[in-house]
Amino acid sequence: MARTIAERRDVVPMLAEVFRVYGFEGASLARISEGTKLGKGSIYNFFPGGKEEMAEAVLAEIDDWFRVHVFEPLREGADPVAGVDGMFDEVRRYFLSGRKVCLVGVFALGNERDRYAERVRDYFGAWIDALAGALVRLGHNGDAAAALAEEVVGGIQGALVLARAFDRPDGFVHALQRLRARLEPAKTDGKKTGDGA
């Protein structure tokens, strides 16, 4: 039975789950209606541009969440160690300790890849740049920081895929612990440098 939702923003998380499960191409109007419990008229009232507008709204919400909880603390936080630690904590929370796949990753791999290539590139680029900036503040040179940041973000994404493939969310949690440990020497060096040692 269709339900009434007062705000467009209330629908976006439900749409995200539909796209997460079925991808862009597989998210038919019937599946969207089932996932949101909204009738066709209500869906198009909120999103007159159709599925493309829905996907844009979902990607914008993801961008906003990561900007506030991950990218800005890495870029602007007074303590880069806290920014890096916070990134791992927030990522674990966001992806439900490996039970929730990365929707941007789904869009990067699916048939919709070309349609949203710039959005996908911007999301991963912003993450890598923000982490690299924190690593530079912790004492890495620019090239090493960029390479390590790319390795860590790629490791997080790969761990999500493997957690889903093996149906072992704990694999994601363990991967985050290993990646966090991989950054420990940089964090230690950064603390020593900051203390004037």
Q: pLDDT tens-digit profile of 51-107?
A: 999 999 999 999 999 999 999 999 999 999 999 999 999 999 999 987 888 999 888
Tell me the percentage of the chain whose pLDDT exceeds 70: 90
Domain boundaries, the chain: 58-192
Measured CA to CA, the distance from residue 86 to residue 100 in angstroms comes to 19
Which pLDDT tens digit goes with each residue over 31-49?
999 999 999 999 999 999 9
3-state class percentages of the chain: helix first, strand second, coil last, to nearest 5: 80, 0, 20
pTM of the model: 0.85
For domain 58-192, the CATH class is mainly alpha
